[in-house]
A and B are shown apart, each in its own frame.
Chain A
Amino acid sequence: MDLFKEQVNRLFEPATFIGLSTVGFFMLVYSRRVWSTTSFWVGNVVLTLFFGLSALDPNFNKVITKPDNIPILIMVYTAWWTLWLSMNQAITNDQRMELGLPPDEQEDSGKKVWAWPDLVYTELLAMLLVGGLLVIWSIFLKAPLEEPANIADSPNPSKAPWYFLGLQEMLVYYDPWLAGVVFPGLIVVGLMAIPFIDFNPLGNGYFTFRARKFAITWFLFGYIVLWVVLIFLGTFLRGPNWNFYGPYEYWDPHKLEALVNINLSEYFWIKWFQQPLPSNWMIREIPGFVATLAYFSVVGFVLTKTYLKQMHQQMTTIRYGILMTLFLSMMALPLKMLLRWFFDLKYVIAIPEYFFNI
């Protein structure tokens, strides 16, 4: 049993966990069969079995029963439910359209219902149900309030509110100005920009996957892998000192991990060219500048010739440029994760002289 648990713990290490999540995510998105009603229930059973059986482990139990962590549990289920619902509908529509039928939603589109009682009454019922559940929740799980902040006894781990744990996880890989300011800003700006970038009229008013493969895949990647999975990771797998702990591992505050990372400039000058770092930071960071510029220009350009050839033809260059900036910024996170996991890369550009690190 312990051996099994150890294996599971290893499976949940950030690299494997996020890696597997990504692979799993693409398998889910591109396999139509997953979105059947049966697999909805299979998904629920798998989740419930995982949490239920894991709750027998005292260490996992301690983490999962903390009043703060209950919403995350609920979130895991609701994320699955909403994802399944929309994808199920999209697949159904795609199948219908292959047969020449209109999408499911079209049948409803001519229909009218009464505001009262059909709309308002059901809203009232929903309100009552949710209200009642919230009160019951609040009675049985007290708000996890602690004593006034104490500099002599700061909580360890110090965690952000659950909905910010994705951001906090980002801080492992990027400096605060990026992970805490630029990226969150880009998320908001990017979400606002979607209607202006995405002019594909297909899918208006109905779910479809085939007609919006790029949009849905990469939006969901950002949402599921880079947000929900990171929150899950931050909640259940990050313990004292923001160290990684397997689900069945004891949260030992004294756990030590060797976190020795180096910069790209050090790779370049010292490891490859066997010479000291140039004293001038502009020269020193040339590889970093080149890499960053190349990432944003060359990748975007290559994509116009390959994966996004058709899309690029339909778009103006400015629109494509904005899309690429947002897309590549988003992908900068998993990319940096990979670089960190496999190459111990600390910064691509490191200019501590001006507190500017990427």
Chain B
Amino acid sequence: MARSQTLHEYNISRLNIWFAALAVLMVVVVVGMVFDDYNRSWKKYQREFVRLEQEQLGEARLAASEKIKEDRLTKAEERLTEARTELVAQREQLSELDKKHIQVHSEWYRIDQNFRFYKAEYDVVKYEFAVANERHDEAKAEAAGVKLAEMGLELQRMRVAREDAIARREAIEAQMDELRDAETKAQARLAKITEDVDLIDKRLATIQDNWFNKARNAAMLDFIQPSLRVNQILPAGLTYDVNFGVTDRVDRCTTCHLGIDNPRWEDAPQPFTTHPDLDTYVAAASSHPLTDFGCTECHGGRPRGVEFSRAAHTPRDEEQRKEWEEKYGYHKMHHWVLPMLTADDYEAGCVKCHTGVREIPKADTYNAGRQLVEHFGCQGCHKIDGYEDMAKTGPSLKRIADKLTPEFAYRWISDPKLVRPHSVMPQIFHLQNVVGGKDGDPTYWSRRTTAEINGIVAYLFDKSETTDFASAAVPRGNPQRGQQLFESVGCQACHLVAEEEDALEVVGVSPRQFGPNLEAVASKSTIAWTYHWLKDPKSYDPTTRMPNMRLTDQEASDITAYLRTLRADTTTPYGQEPSDPEMVYEILMDYLSNTQPVATAAAQLDAMDERAREVLLGERVIGRQGCFGCHLIEGFEETLPIGTELSGEGSKPLNKFAFNNQHGVEHSVKAWIEHKMLEPRSYDEGMHLLPLEKSRMPRFNMTEEQAKLVTSNVLSWTKHTVPQENQRNLSASEQQAARGEKLVASRNCRGCHIIEGQGGAIASLIEDTGYHPPNLFNEGAKVQPDWLVRFLHEVSPIRPWLNVRMPSFEFTEEERGVVANYFMAVADAHDNPYPQADLLTYADSGSGSGLFELYKCQQCHPSGALSADAPSASELAPNLSLAKNRLRPDWIVSWLTDPQSQMPGTRMPNFFYDDGEYFTDEAPEEIEALRDYLMTLE
């Protein structure tokens, strides 16, 4: 080589040192890269799980081996040894058989192969035959036909030979089995004894820390068949919306939540803990098996995430967030729109599939939230999917002049809660963003508010129709009797009085909160109105949900007298003052110049007198505040509600919520909504807004608990949808049940009756259970639908001794049908009460009549005047002459057989049957005879 050191541009030995150093760097970097890729956080959990499982299995193995009875084990082992010794004695015979078996088997192998090869050739000729015919090559076809016939015979012969070989082989095998029989049985017996331990050993072997498991989980090798790996579930049909398309939902949660479906991990630490409700979720036999539903469809979060933060876990509160930050380096996934729901709101995930129903079984938080949303009437101002066609929350104001004085209306609108602290009506004025001064005028908002409220009052009274209520005379009533009636006829099923409401222990809404709280009612409405309202509510307001209690004039005037005693001090800081005409003008200019030129607006106003301006102002303010969302108001019957649509609110991205200056509010959708519920106007703070730009959301005085429940419900309103076939689709009868449920809720049937195990709210006020309104358990299977429809149309009391009255609801024909169908649907009853024709003959009514006397049915079921030995009124039962048209014959049979099964807690004694046995052999016939008699009794 002619190269010399001096010819080089660089010092080569120094380059070599550089090379060495860089090579080392590269190796270190590559190792680091592999390690970084290998060292995934989920592996830590899987290793920990394996360790815990080893421990658990070790303990289980110990317990299982302790269970094995020592003597049985030794006996089984001895027997096995014995069998084996015996086998040794027959060694020669066995080896002889073995040889024969090998010979026969090889013979079979050869024959079988020949057969299959020949069969292949046969099939080729078959094909040739078909082709020749297709080409009309008759000569060829004929030759092939002849060949096929020959070959067919040969094939048949070969088949017989093959079967013969198999038979011979099986005969030898049978002989061998016979010789080995004792050993096989002894072995099976032993295996049976050690079964549990063996099973554990088998599982242990797969998770042992042996070289095999270590090697397959080693870096660079773990692509083949590792035991530590990402677990994933692909629930069929469920998708994940990637905005411009959908992909399959892939849930990887079980990569770390390894014990989720195994009850043995109940007490294990997270993330291994068992799902708390395996009866309903996750378990294969539950209604929501893991493989069909996955995790994130209900819980939210990022399905594919396998790292703590990247799974979009959501901390319960600030404290937990801090804990997570320390423990897991937690940070929020900013790009994930639907983070995991926290424990308080899990049920918000249910409604995606459980659509079309008011209540979801077991989802207590959701149901309570929904009740509250309906109670406060959120749907009055906001369009919400699933809350359509609901009755307005407040009363109609079309005839307000008959009911109230303008002075009272003014006070009420100023702040309803000051007049009636338990009113559902929210506060609209004097809230934080509409008080104080403006542009250096310290009295601006107080003057403006006065003018606006005066305007509303002026509009309402101006448009109010009047009836003759006001002038009609009201008979004098007795307040004591009135109170008795109030407390007995059933008013309290829907109405509470004053502080009574605070004593209710209820999550969500009690049926007793259905109607308005009646505190201060005397200060509110006039005597004449109260009296006529009680007598016939619908004549005043055809849309009201208040039913007709069929009160006599005297009763109505007594209750009126009692209600007049419910007076409270209604002097509030807001007495009616006249409006400042300049202010009225100014506000109207605000409104009018929004939609028309200032000059036109001014001209319009200048042409009006002061009263007309006030009325116009009222119309504008009502339109802006959306009073018509809850009240029927003349001129606003068709106006669209004022609030934002909330149908997708739960899935709205966080950055669409303006927190403005509310720095104390945690940065989450949930916290934003919750704060809005409690302090609806607070987001206006520190913003420069013109009067008409300010927030209009009224203040409901919700408790924190209520705000949480409502918020949880709002979170369930998402745009995320589940394919129809994956939803909980209602059957025809479930749909009828759902329709009926809505009606039952809208008329508050549960105020009095227990329906589907819920309700009967009024019962708590009636001590004697004999006076409770009837429990409607299994009602659909009990009564004839025709009778129910007739009964709802024209109520005729079944139990005249009850003080509580079934009101007349004045249902439409359709609604009556809905009720009847509802009860049949929930009781799973057929709509034909006479399923068998022979029931209509009532052959045994004669002997039934005797039994009727014998069992003294009429003692408790009086048909006319009470007999001398009649029990007290509370022990009475319905008149049996009603049975014919009212009850289903097959129900009477079940009822007489075992009353408790038909109506838990009934006082009806068991005459024929108890504890799974009839008292006499004749009992079944007697029951049928009684039924026949009842069905003919006039």
Contacts and interface: CB of A to CB of B under 8 A. Distances in A.
Q: Is this pair of chains taken from one and the same complex? A: yes
Interface of A: 113-114, 117-118, 121-122, 124-125, 128-129, 131-132, 135-136, 138-139, 146-153, 156, 253-254
Interface stretch (B1-9, B45-53, B815-823): B1-9
Contact of A114 (B7, B22, B655): B7
Given A122-B10, A128-B19, A139-B32, 15 more contacts: A113-B7, A113-B9, A114-B7, A114-B9, A117-B10, A117-B12, A121-B12, A122-B15, A125-B22, A128-B26, A129-B22, A149-B244, A152-B337, A152-B652, A153-B335
Contacts of A113: 7-9
A136 B23 CA distance: 14
Nearest to A153: B653
Contacts of A152: 243, 337, 652-653
B36 interface: yes
A125 B36 contact: no
A136 B653 CA distance: 35
A264 to B, nearest CB: 32
A125 B655 contact: no
Considering residues A124, A138, A147, A149, which has the most beta carbons from chain B within 10 angstroms of its beta carbon?
A147
Interface in B111-131: none
22 contacts: A118-B8, A121-B12, A128-B22, A128-B23, A128-B25, A129-B25, A131-B29, A132-B25, A132-B26, A135-B29, A135-B32, A135-B33, A136-B29, A147-B335, A148-B243, A149-B243, A150-B337, A152-B652, A153-B335, A153-B337, A153-B653, A253-B655
A151 B243 contact: yes
A138 B19 CA distance: 23
A121 B15 CA distance: 8
A131 B336 CA distance: 34
Given A125-B22, A128-B22, A129-B22, A153 B8 contact: no
A150 B243 contact: yes
Contact of A146 (B25, B335, B652): B335
A139 B8 contact: no
Closest 10 CB pairs of A and B: A148-B242, A128-B22, A153-B653, A147-B335, A113-B9, A118-B9, A132-B29, A135-B29, A150-B243, A146-B335
A89 B9 CA distance: 20
B18 interface: yes
A114 B9 CA distance: 8
Contact of B655 (A122, A135, A138, A153): A153
B143 interface: no
A152 B3 CA distance: 69
B307 to A, nearest CB: 11
Interface string B649-665: 00011010010000000
Contacts of A114: 3, 7-9
A220 to B, nearest CB: 30
Considering residues A150, A151, A156, which has the most beta carbons from chain B within 10 angstroms of its beta carbon?
A150
A129 B15 CA distance: 13
A131 B26 contact: yes
A305 to B, nearest CB: 51
B205 interface: no
B337 A118 contact: no
Contacts of A118: 8-10
A134 to B, nearest CB: 9
A135 B15 CA distance: 22
A186 B33 CA distance: 43
B36 A139 contact: yes
Contacts of B30: 135
B929 to A, nearest CB: 71
Contacts of B19: 121, 124-125, 128
Contacts of A135: 29-30, 32-33
Nearest to A152: B653
Contact of A125 (B7, B15, B33, B653): B15
Contacts of A150: 243, 337, 653
B263 to A, nearest CB: 36
B543 to A, nearest CB: 39
A152 to B, nearest CB: 6
A136 B336 CA distance: 28
Contacts of B655: 153, 156, 253
B34 to A, nearest CB: 10
Contacts of B335: 146-147, 153
A339 B497 CA distance: 74
A131 B30 CA distance: 10
A153 B657 CA distance: 12
B414 to A, nearest CB: 34
Interface in B25-66: 25-26, 29-30, 32-33, 36
Contacts of B244: 148-149, 151
A124 B20 CA distance: 12
Contacts of A254: 658
A125 B336 contact: no
Contacts of B22: 125, 128-129, 132
Contacts of A122: 10, 15
A16 B25 CA distance: 45
Contacts of B18: 125
A146 B337 CA distance: 12
A114 B6 CA distance: 12
Contacts of A131: 26, 29
Contacts of A149: 243-244
A131 to B, nearest CB: 7
Nearest to B7: A114
Contacts of A147: 335-336
Nearest to A145: B335
Interface in B519-542: none
Nearest to B3: A114
B333 to A, nearest CB: 8
A311 B655 CA distance: 58
A254 B29 CA distance: 44
Contacts of B12: 117, 121
Interface in B349-405: none
B669 to A, nearest CB: 12
Nearest to A118: B9
